[in-house]
Amino acid sequence: MIFPESPEQPEQSISFFFEDVAFELPDEQSLQAWLLSVAEAEGKPIWEIGYIFCSDEHLRGINVEFLDHDYYTDIITFDYSDDARMQGEIYISSERVAENAETNRVSFHHELCRVMVHGVLHMAGYKDKTPEDEAAMRNKEDFYLTKLPL
């Protein structure tokens, strides 16, 4: 994991890392501001979140090692939050995002933002294991995507 255990973490920090993939993130500052505003609106501001973009195989390896799930996924969120602030790591497969974008007939950027906000919503307390929870999560994603400044 990428965060040291230190109480002196910077306030309101979102970082982007690329593990074994490379692509351009459009306007990182606008993305960070948007994600910070989502967390604030959900009543749980961000302390520090690291987004780690990686390949399908890398994320599947994490899924197997840490969650004992042997399948591909687009996102895994490790939530280290306390009651007041969000802290964690969000791993995203850019390959899975690209495939989902094609399937859903949306741009890569749109789908990437959907997955990024999905991770923040998990840290805010939203679940997606039941059809009802999944629908509520999708509604929140759609709502916040309308607020995207890009």
Number of domains in the chain: 1
**Domain-embedded: residue 34:** yes
Task: Give pLDDT tens digits for 82-135.
Answer: 988 999 999 999 999 999 999 999 999 999 999 999 999 999 999 999 999 999
**Alpha-carbon gap, residue 139 to 121, rounded angstroms:** 11
Three-class SS of residue 88? strand
Q: Tokens 């999708």 identify what position?
A: 138
**Domain-embedded: residue 123:** yes
CATH no. for residue 34? 3.40.390.30
The radius of gyration computed from the CA coordinates of the chain, to the nearest angstrom, equals 15
- Tell me the H-state helices in 12-146: 28-41, 56-67, 94-104, 108-123, 131-145
**Domain-embedded: residue 25:** yes
Domain span holding position 109: 13-145
Task: Give pLDDT tens digits for 32-76.
Answer: 999 999 999 999 999 999 999 999 999 999 999 999 999 999 999
**Domain-embedded: residue 130:** yes
Three-class SS of residue 139? helix
**Domain-embedded: residue 67:** yes
**Domain-embedded: residue 59:** yes
**Domain-embedded: residue 3:** no
**Domain-embedded: residue 84:** yes
